[in-house]
Amino acid sequence: MPHYICQTCGTQFSESETSPDHCTICEEERQYVGIHGTTWTTLEKLAKTHRNSYRKKEHSLMAIGTEPKFGIGQRALLIIRPEGNILWDCISLIDEATIDIIESMGGLSAIAISHPHYYTTMVEWSKAFGDIPVYLHEDDRQWVMRSDENIHFWSGETKELGDDITLIHCGGHFDGGTVLHWADGADRKGALLTGDIIQVVLDRKHVTFMYSYPNQIPLPEHKIQRIVDAVEPFKYDRIYGAWWDRNILTNATEAVHKSAERYIKAIKAGL
């Protein structure tokens, strides 16, 4: 039986003879149901109409995104390291070409994902690279639409995936919202890979924090402060967001502080 994929959010569901009646992810207020209702596809059909593209972001960091846009439109990031490559966040399309290209760069040893909107076909990715672990924060366990033994739920505030990689529990956008600290990134000045948890905005000088981005629901002050406090112990000069070219390439720590102050001022007393 097929594993159907929601075309609006890109989430893959457990196998079923017919498409699901609804998409749990899209019907929740942080996402949305498309104007034409919930529509479904499969990985096999998606591979016939879309392809993945690749962009080198810096030494040992590759971005992978799907063209034309599918689902939410995020791109994943591949950290290339001698100890084993790590995929940060996930996209729905995985095909033979994608597998071959990543294998040529050393394959994958683990996957870590920031929040449920990017879970997509994480189980397919895990199986394609030898049943590698997928790390999700346990606070978002309820949003997994396709369970698998390769999914590892971690708890607490941080989890190390090696000397240079740390997952940081920030909350905010989702209770289990996570960012990844890459100590060797940005020429060893440190980089944060943030998904939607700390979202780089269009000016590429600031970030923002939201409960719902498409429905424009803000976060309260205490949750913004929690995010800032969670990343404060980590050295970073660069932030890679969830979208093509949404990156802050230098002075990222200052940008987070200034952005948080600006955000809190706006929701408390107005600009």
Nearest CA among 70, 65, 67, 63 for reference residue 42 = 70
The span from the CA of 227 to the CA of 130, in Å, is 34
Residue found by looking up tokens 């998409």 in the block: 23
Q: How far is CA 142 from CA 145, 176, 217, 254, in A?
A: 8, 11, 21, 35
For residue range 82-112, what is the model confidence (pLDDT) as tens digits?
A: 999 999 999 999 999 999 999 999 999 999 9
CA–CA distance, 71 with 89 (Å, rounded to integer): 14
Q: Which pLDDT score is estimated for 78?
A: 98
Which of 120, 129, 177 minimizes the C-alpha distance to 150? 129
**Whole-number mean pLDDT of the chain?**
97
Is pLDDT at 270 greater than 90 in this prediction? no
The pLDDT score that the predictor gives to residue 269 is 79
DSSP 8-51: TT--B----SS--S--HHHHSTTS---TT---EE-HHHHHHH-E
Q: Are the beta carbons of 197 and 179 closer than 8 angstroms?
A: yes
pLDDT in tens, 251-267: 999 999 999 999 999 99
* Percent of the chain clearing pLDDT 70 (strictly above): 99
The CA-atom distances, in angstroms, between 51 and each of 13, 71, 93 are 21, 13, 7
- Per the listing, tokens 């001698």 go with 82
Looking at residue 86, its pLDDT comes to: 98
DSSP 145-210: SS--TTEEEE-SSEEESSTTEEEEE--SSSTT-EEEEETTHHHHT-EEEEETTSEE-TTSS-EE-E
Predicted pLDDT of residue 118: 98
User: What percent of the chain clears pLDDT 90, i.e. is strictly above it?
Assistant: 98
pLDDT value at residue 149: 98
What pLDDT is attached to residue 271? 59
Hey, what are 27's tokens?
């019907």
Section 26-36 average pLDDT: 95
Question: Any idea what the Cα angle at residue 72 is, between residues 66 and 73, rounded to 5°?
Answer: 30
Tell me the average pLDDT across 6-18.
Answer: 98
Q: What is the pLDDT of residues 72-81, one digit of tens each?
A: 999 999 999 9
Q: Which fold has domain 5-269?
A: Metallo-beta-lactamase; Chain A (3.60.15)
The yes-or-no verdict on residue 9 having pLDDT over 80 is yes
Listed by start position, the domains of the chain span 5-269
Q: Is the per-residue pLDDT at 209 higher than 80?
A: yes
Q: What is the CA radius of gyration of the chain?
A: 18
Which residues partner with 55 through β-bridges? 63
Backbone φ and ψ of 151, nearest 5°: -80, 125
For position 208, what pLDDT does the model report?
98
| pTM greater than the 0.95 cutoff | yes
Residue 123: is it exposed, middle or buried by C-beta count within 10 angstroms (0-12/13-18/19+)?
Answer: buried
Q: Under a CB-based contact definition with an 8 Å cutoff, are residues 263 and 208 in contact?
A: yes
